[in-house]
């Protein structure tokens, strides 16, 4: 028997805790988290389900899910429909959770193309299941996170990718200038359920919570109307999956610590730093054996390597040997950036130049917020390249010499310059650096048009 509770109210003025990637962009300091030696939780978890179903906890979970937005699950319910639906159904859902008999719906499979040509499989839970997972996360993360390794940075409160990159750079500067770059093949799809649940059971005593987590792992996948059972893996897309992934890989962290290695792990990206190539190859063999035999995961041999750090990338960054091992944007990240900018600024897009610049600025602001962590003046170089590309696009769009003369005159370009550039046999890309086009689309004019400077965004 469960005690009856008043209907779920959305008028509670509660806010979800500010978890996640919250590292400051302009600092290199790596914040430490003291990890305990074992999985023991600081408080009892015998009545954990009651804490999960606490009204304040659920209200915070609803707010977090609504703020994160996201696509609908298999039932088609959107986050806009969530508050009303949950207010009507929460009493029944809460009773099932407290009795340990709640059964989640299958996740909706979404395939996301990868830059290298592969696919990332996402599993989108229903919005109600996302609320329940978020409520579980909010209770488990404060208990588990302090016990995780200080070398783990992914999906943890107060820790960020920038901190992981800075710590990796610190190892390199200390003389560990060979990296064992380990890539786990389809990690989220190949997590062993039994091993994962054994790790959860070592930290959680409430059997209802154990059954709930197991039910999320085995809820299955729906794609194009066909149901597929889940025998392994933890679907990417649910709020609790990152926490479970850290729990699985905490065993790897402890093993690397026991061996005395210098390493940095962000989710399933793990870099181990050693002093010689010979040591790196020995570590690669032994760690691969541990991962595949002990953790029942698979190392992607094609993407893993023992190499110099300046020949590899980590979380979109690398180091430049010729610049004193300073952080820089990895070549692949730069190539992806330029490809995306070319798509946004396509010459034949049917939008005005002003709208094109606005669309571009939205992308640039977010990209600079992450890659502004580079220690080289790469953003200024990219700013110059973008301005040149916009001039080139404008020149192509004007098409005829009459239109080009009129547009340049309207922008105050002297007639002598206009005649020289209009009669030139050079192509648009070469002409984009000439004085007439540079004057017509100066940095100040483009800024008034709405174009941001990534370098100025980072420094201000």
pLDDT (tens digit per residue) in 160-179: 999 999 999 999 999 999 99
Angle at 325 between CA 332 and CA 280, to 5 degrees: 80
Check pLDDT > 60 for residue 354: yes
pLDDT digits 0-9 by tens, 64-102: 999 988 889 999 999 999 989 998 999 999 999 999 999
pLDDT of residue 42: 38
Check pLDDT > 60 for residue 9: no
Check pLDDT > 90 for residue 182: yes
Predicted structure pTM score: 0.83
Q: Is residue 362 classed as helix, strand or coil in its secondary structure?
A: helix
Main-chain phi, psi angles of 411, to 5 degrees: -95, 10
Share of the chain above pLDDT 70, in %: 89
Distances (CA, A) of 310 to 135, 176, 313: 42, 12, 7
Place of tokens 């915070």: 60
**pLDDT-based confidence at residue 12 (cuts at 50, 70, 90):** very low
Check pLDDT > 60 for residue 56: yes
Check pLDDT > 50 for residue 2: no
User: Would you tell me how many other CB atoms lie within 10 Å of the CB of residue 301?
Assistant: 11
The token duo for 404 is 């080009």
Give the integer Cα–Cα distance in Å for 302 and 114.
Answer: 16
Check pLDDT > 50 for residue 321: yes
């Amino acid at each position: 028997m469960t005690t009856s509770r008043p209907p779920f109210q959305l008028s509670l003025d509660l806010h979800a805790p500010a978890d996640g990637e919250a590292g400051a962009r302009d600092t290199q300091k790596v914040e430490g988290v003291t990890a305990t030696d074992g999985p023991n939780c600081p408080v009892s978890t015998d009545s954990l389900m009651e804490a999960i179903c606490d009204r304040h906890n659920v209200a915070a979970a609803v707010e977090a899910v609504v703020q994160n937005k996201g696509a609908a699950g298999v039932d088609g319910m959107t986050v806009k429909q969530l508050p009303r639906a949950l207010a009507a159904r929460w009493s029944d859902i809460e009773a099932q959770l407290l009795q340990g008999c709640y059964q989640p719906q299958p996740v909706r499979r979404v395939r996301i193309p990868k830059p290298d040509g592969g696919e990332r499989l996402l599993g989108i839970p229903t919005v109600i299941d996302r609320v329940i997972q978020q409520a579980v996360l909010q209770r488990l993360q404060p208990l588990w996170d302090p016990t995780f390794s200080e070398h783990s940075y992914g999906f943890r409160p107060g820790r960020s990718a920038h901190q992981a990159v800075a710590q990796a750079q610190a190892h390199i500067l200390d003389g560990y200038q060979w990296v064992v770059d380990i890539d786990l093949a389809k990690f989220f799809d190949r997590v062993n359920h039994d091993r994962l649940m054994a790790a959860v059971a070592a930290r959680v005593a409430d059997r209802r919570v154990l059954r709930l987590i197991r039910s999320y792992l085995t809820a299955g996948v729906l794609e194009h109307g066909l149901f597929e059972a889940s025998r392994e893996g933890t679907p990417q897309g649910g709020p609790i999956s990152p926490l479970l992934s850290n729990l699985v890989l905490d065993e790897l962290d402890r093993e690397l610590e026991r061996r005395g290695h210098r390493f940095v792990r962000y989710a399933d990206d793990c870099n181990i730093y050693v002093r010689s190539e010979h040591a790196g190859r020995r570590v690669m063999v032994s760690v691969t054996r541990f991962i595949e035999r002990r953790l029942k995961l698979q190392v992607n041999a094609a993407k893993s390597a023992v190499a110099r750090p300046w020949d590899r990338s980590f979380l979109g960054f690398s180091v430049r040997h010729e610049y004193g091992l300073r952080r820089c944007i990895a070549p692949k990240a730069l190539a992806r950036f330029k490809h995306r900018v070319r798509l946004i600024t396509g010459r034949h897009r049917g939008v005005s130049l002003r709208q094109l610049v606005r669309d571009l600025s939205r992308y640039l602001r977010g990209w600079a917020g992450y890659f502004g962590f580079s220690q080289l003046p790469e953003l200024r170089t990219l700013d110059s390249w973008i301005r040149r590309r916009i001039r080139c696009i404008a020149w192509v769009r004007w098409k005829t010499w009459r239109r080009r003369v009129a547009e340049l005159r309207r922008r105050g370009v002297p007639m002598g310059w206009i005649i020289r550039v209009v009669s030139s046999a050079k192509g648009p890309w070469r002409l984009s650096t000439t004085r007439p086009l540079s004057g017509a689309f100066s940095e100040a004019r483009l800024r008034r048009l709405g174009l941001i400077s990534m370098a100025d965004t980072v420094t201000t």
